[in-house]
Chain A
Amino acid sequence: MDTILYLAHTDASGSLPKAALEALTAALDLTRELDGASLVLGLIGENVEGAAGAVGGVERVVGVSGPEFAVSRYASDAAATEALVNATEATIVIAPATPRLCRTLPGVAGRLGGRVETQVTEVTAEGDTVRAQRWFYRQRMVATLSRSQRPWFLLVAPGAYDAWKGEAGGAQLERVNVDLPADQLRTRVEGFQAAASQTQTIRPDAQTLLVAGAGWTKKQADGQVHIKDAECLVLGFLELAHASLGSSKSLVDQSSEGGEVMSFMSHLNQVGQTGSTPRHKKGLSTCCHGEEPHVVGWRFIRERRAINLDPACGWAQGKADVLYVADAFQVMAKVNELLSGQ
């Protein structure tokens, strides 16, 4: 007899962000499949009434609200989470894997003697057993497991489920009180700050991931390196196609300047590391040999194409849907031309 607590935080406008709606689908699915389970909605934020009222089909809604919970901060979020879990006696907690909750829930799991899985790609039930699927070793392998320890926190990866759409609800919001003594609020949130670089290499909603391999920085047929051209072509494509950027090996040389690596590559590390792994529909690999790029997010690319001069490279051996044996400098220049023409 499991009590499933769906846990989410509201955004600045008081509504549930997309990742949260996806996790809600997971929670509702699980409640249906799991023998004898009941679902409670749990919300944290400055204001939660709006969100509470928006979700229909749930019998019980609990919330922690107030100015201290407007911001993403471990101490307050953990206190709120603990309070909600205790108030509902939840055995399973399903939440979106947002940076805020990824920060908070593991600590609370530790506090309560439970367990936690993050970046869960599937939650299923078999009888009265809950199973979670997640990826290991930088998405190089996937495993399914179930645990008996409770409460079991499952943070659902964005993009793994469709966002919930449904009727508004009428359940009464139960407010849960959380005491936050002043000496616990030692952290003050200042606000958001943009990343230093002007270059937008992360596009969370991008349809396409461009993988730029080491070949861009190598000597070309004329015996020269063409870093500036490479930069132009890659950046141009990102702009025109609204694509995200990945790399098949570290092109970041943080210890030397000079024209040897593409200057914006230092932000490469950020792709997929924002706590939400982008799942692109299409992946285009360029100047990369075909050893499956160890790029966070590549694993989930559905349609894969590659441009490489070597017709016997790894892409030809079943790793891509299409391999174009051609010079990426030439092809990408043309691609950018066509994209900008529209």
Chain B
Amino acid sequence: MSGGFHIVVCGSLVPDPLQTLEPVLGTDVPALKNEAMLPSVLDPWAGHALFEAAQLAASGPDSKLWLCSLGPKARLQQLMMQVAQKVPFELVALDGSASGFTDSALVADALASAIESIDGLDRSRMLLFGGCASASRDAGVTLQMVGERLGIRDQFLGVDELHVQEDGSLRVLERVEGGRYLASVCEGPPLVAAWATGKLPEPPNSPQIGMQNMRTIMPALARAKPVSLESGGTTWLSAEVPQQRRETRIVKDSSADEIAREIVDWLRS
């Protein structure tokens, strides 16, 4: 294998987790209340995947990095203002819904088609990255489907580390039960890595990177192909925030000792 990796990161926007999120079930598919108003952030685990990808790309001279993002165009624009100052990348934008209630198979289809049409992408050197689940659909299924569509049979979920070994093989650590990792070695690209948090902190904002990125991001946004995610075949029966209002007993004038005793009794019960 010559040269570096061609890394494609799939990641989109999710509503800022600080906001109040409530579903409304209209006629068809659930949506979020006041969705038009919710500020968005980059999907956290996809973000980690992006930062890891950037580090990997920086270490290989011939590497390239694309971010493939499906979301409402206006929202993607906003998202880019936040993400573009972090790491250098090229954007492949698709204009469609980023709701967690969309059909993952259709999303995967759209992403795979877009990736297939990336100019200059060498599939034999490809690493397909993303988050191990989104903060919206929160299922951890889309990336595997994209990988399948692209014919990649080496897939890893819940990745915290991907290390390029001397011989070019890739050692991957995946989170598994009991707080442990499963270590595997893949001969080389192509592979799919759905990242958990990885090991890198969020990069600080760099205006230089931002300005550089914007030169390609603006045209990419303008070119964003509309994608329809209408799926027949799914019936939504309910969508709600479970109402939990308990009768709170407020213990105010007890000493720390008394409270501690009560807590320990409760823990032991």
Would you call B248 and A140 a contact (CB within 8 A)? no
Cα of A136 to Cα of B244 in the assembled complex, Å: 17
Residue from A107, A138, A304, A327 in contact with B17 in the complex, judged by beta carbons closer than 8 Å: A138
Of the candidates B14, B21, B234, B240, the one whose C-beta lies within 8 Å of that of A145 is B234
* B158 lies within 8 A of A274 (CB): yes
Stretch from B70-78, B173-181, B207-215, B222-230 that touches the partner: B173-181
Any A CB within 8 A of the CB of B79: no
| Partner of A147 from B185, B234, B242 at Cβ < 8 Å | B234
Q: Which residues from B are CB-within-8-Å of A73?
A: 184
Task: Verify A274–B145 contact, CB threshold 8 A.
Answer: no
Contact A322 B249 (CB under 8 A): yes
Contact A107 B144 (CB under 8 A): yes
Interface residue range, chain A: 35 or more
Contacts of A98 in B (CB 8 A): 177
Residues of A with C-beta under 8 A to B104: 106, 115-116
Q: Is A106's CB under 8 angstroms from B140's CB?
A: yes
Contacts of B173 in A (CB 8 A): 193
Q: How far, in whole Å, are A141 and B225 apart by their CA atoms in the complex?
A: 30
Is B84's beta carbon under 8 Å from chain A? no
User: How far in angstroms is the closest Cβ of chain B from A197?
Assistant: 9
Interface size class of B (residues with CB under 8 A): 35 or more
Contact with A along B231-248 (1 / 0, CB 8 A): 011111111111011111
Q: How far is the CB of B187 from chain A (nearest CB, A)?
A: 4
The distance in angstroms between the C-alpha atoms of A74 and B154, with both chains bound, is 6
Within 8 A of A (CB), among B40-72: none
Measured CB to CB, the closest approach of chain A to B201, in angstroms, equals 4
Instruction: Check if A143 sits within 8 Å of B261, measured CB to CB.
Output: no
Interface of A is mostly: mixed
Q: In B101-125, which residues have CB < 8 Å from any A CB? A: 101, 103-105, 108
Report A-chain residues with C-beta under 8 Å of the C-beta of B188: 186
Q: Measured between C-beta atoms, what is the minimum distance from B73 to chain A in Å?
A: 22
- Does A136 lie within 8 Å of B101, measured CB to CB? yes
A335 beta carbon closer than 8 Å to chain B: yes
Instruction: Report chain B residues within 8 Å CB of A175.
Output: none
* B133-167 interface (Cβ within 8 A of A): 135-142, 144-145, 147-149, 153-158
- B237 and A321 contacting across the interface, CB-CB below 8 Å: no
How many whole Å from A7's CB to the nearest CB in chain B? Answer: 16
A202-B234 CB under 8 A given contacts A136-B138, A323-B249, A325-B250: no
A143 near B236 with CB under 8 A, answer: yes
The proximity string for B residues 248-269 relative to A, scoring 1 for CB distances below 8 Å and 0 otherwise, is 1111101011011111101100
Among the listed B136, B147, B187, B246, which residue makes an inter-chain contact with A320, where contact means beta carbons less than 8 Å apart? B246
Q: B182 at interface (Cβ–Cβ under 8 A)? A: yes
B233 contacts A338, C-beta separation under 8 Å = no
Chain B residues near A320 (CB, 8 Å)?
246, 248
Interchain CB contact under 8 A, A190 and B183: yes
Expressed in whole angstroms, the Cα–Cα distance for A208 and B158 within the complex equals 24
The listed residue (A147, A204, A284) touching B178 by CB distance below 8 A is A204
| Contact flag A136-B242 (CB < 8 Å), given A107-B144, A270-B179 | no
Instruction: Kindly name the residue among B30, B108, B234, B237 whose own CB sees the greatest number of chain A CB atoms within 10 A.
Output: B237
> Does A318 make an interface contact (CB < 8 A)?
yes
Q: B23 contacts A143, CB within 8 Å?
A: yes
Contacts of A201 in B (CB 8 A): 179
Contact bitstring A133-162, B, C-beta under 8 A = 1, else 0: 011111111111111110000000000000
The answer on a CB contact under 8 Å between A323 and B181 is: no
Interface stretch (choices A36-44, A49-57, A309-317): A309-317
Return the chain B residue nearest A294 by Cβ. Answer: B17
A143 touching B22 in the complex, CB below 8 Å, given contacts A118-B141, A275-B158, A331-B260:
no
Q: Is the CB of A331 within 8 A of B235?
A: no
> Are the C-beta atoms of B196 and A269 separated by less than 8 Å?
yes
User: Which residues does chain B contribute within 8 Å of A194, judged by CB atoms?
Assistant: 179-181
Which of B25, B181, B244 is in CB contact (< 8 Å) with A319? B244
Within the complex, which residue of B175, B185, B239 is in contact with A274, where a contact is CB–CB below 8 Å? B175
Could you say which of A103, A110, A323 contacts B248, with CB atoms under 8 Å apart?
A: A323
A315 touches B248 (CB 8 A): yes
24 examples of A-B residue contacts, CB within 8 angstroms = A75-B153, A103-B157, A106-B141, A106-B144, A109-B105, A110-B145, A136-B101, A136-B239, A137-B136, A140-B241, A189-B182, A189-B183, A192-B181, A195-B179, A204-B178, A204-B179, A269-B196, A273-B158, A273-B196, A275-B177, A307-B259, A319-B246, A331-B263, A337-B260
Given contact pairs A74-B155, A106-B140, A274-B177, a sample of 10 additional A-B residue pairs in the complex whose CB atoms are under 8 Å apart: A107-B155, A110-B148, A136-B23, A142-B240, A193-B180, A193-B182, A204-B179, A275-B157, A294-B17, A315-B248
- Interface set of A (CB-CB < 8 Å, partner B): 72-75, 78, 98-100, 102-104, 106-111, 115-119, 131, 134-149, 184, 186-195, 200-202, 204, 207-208, 241, 254-255, 269-270, 273-276, 282, 284, 294, 299, 303-305, 307, 311, 315-327, 330-335, 337-339
CB within 8 Å of A: which residues of B?
14-15, 17, 21-23, 25, 30, 100-101, 103-105, 108, 132, 135-142, 144-145, 147-149, 153-158, 171, 173-188, 196-197, 200-202, 204, 232-242, 244-252, 254, 256-257, 259-264, 266-267
